[in-house]
């Protein structure tokens, strides 16, 4: 039959047996951006290998505040492949709730989606000792970008 044992095994199986030209899509500024099964898996692997290159190991925790998007999937599957715990946090909660969750999560890094979320979470990030870095998916001047993690994984 097949050897799908973990959620992220589905990507490899689909790439080999039923690849899609448009596995994931998102609409940005009125234009659709699509990712094939192969591109999806490549993004996931780059996240996994990048985190591994940064020293992350099974059981380490990474917090994210990301709206629903293909990037959320890439990051989630990438963490899962490595055994990293994904501390996913809703992007609509209060600063007080962010502080409570992040202070108790033991997360080592925080990944946010947008400038708006970065601006909202920077004061919280600065209060949480376990957090060593903050990354953004959106390219922001002076802020580490998720692509830096992916480049470590290529």
3 inside domain: no
| CA distance linking residue 152 with residue 95, whole number of Å | 31
Percent above pLDDT 90 for the chain? 85
77 inside domain: yes
55 inside domain: yes
102 inside domain: yes
Tally the domains of the chain: 1
Q: What is the pLDDT of residues 48-76, one digit of tens each?
A: 999 999 999 999 999 999 999 999 999 99
Residue 83: give its domain's CATH number: 3.40.50.980
| CA distance linking residue 105 with residue 140, whole number of Å | 26
Give the pTM. Answer: 0.93
Q: Which residues partner with 86 through β-bridges?
A: 62
Specify the range with the lowest mean pLDDT, choosing from 14-28, 69-83, 100-114: 14-28
Residue 127: give the domain boundaries.
9-152
Which of 139, 11, 133 lies closest to 64 in space, CA to CA?
133
Q: What is the pLDDT of residues 74-86, one digit of tens each?
A: 999 999 999 999 9
């Amino acid at each position: 039959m097949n050897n799908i044992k973990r959620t992220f095994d589905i990507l490899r199986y689909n790439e080999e047996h039923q690849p899609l030209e448009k596995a994931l899509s998102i609409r940005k500024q009125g234009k659709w951006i699509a990712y094939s099964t192969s591109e999806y898996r490549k993004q996931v692997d780059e996240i996994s290998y990048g985190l591994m290159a940064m020293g992350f190991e099974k059981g380490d925790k990474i917090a994210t505040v990301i709206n629903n998007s293909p990037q959320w999937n890439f990051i989630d599957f990438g963490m899962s492949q490595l055994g990293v715990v994904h501390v996913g946090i809703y992007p609509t909660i209060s600063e007080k709730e962010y502080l409570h969750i992040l202070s108790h999560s033991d997360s080592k890094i925080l990944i946010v989606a947008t400038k708006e979320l970065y601006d909202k979470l920077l004061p919280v990030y600065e209060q949480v000792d376990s957090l060593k870095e903050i990354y953004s998916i959106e390219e922001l001047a002076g802020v580490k970008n998720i692509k830096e993690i992916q480049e470590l994984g290529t």
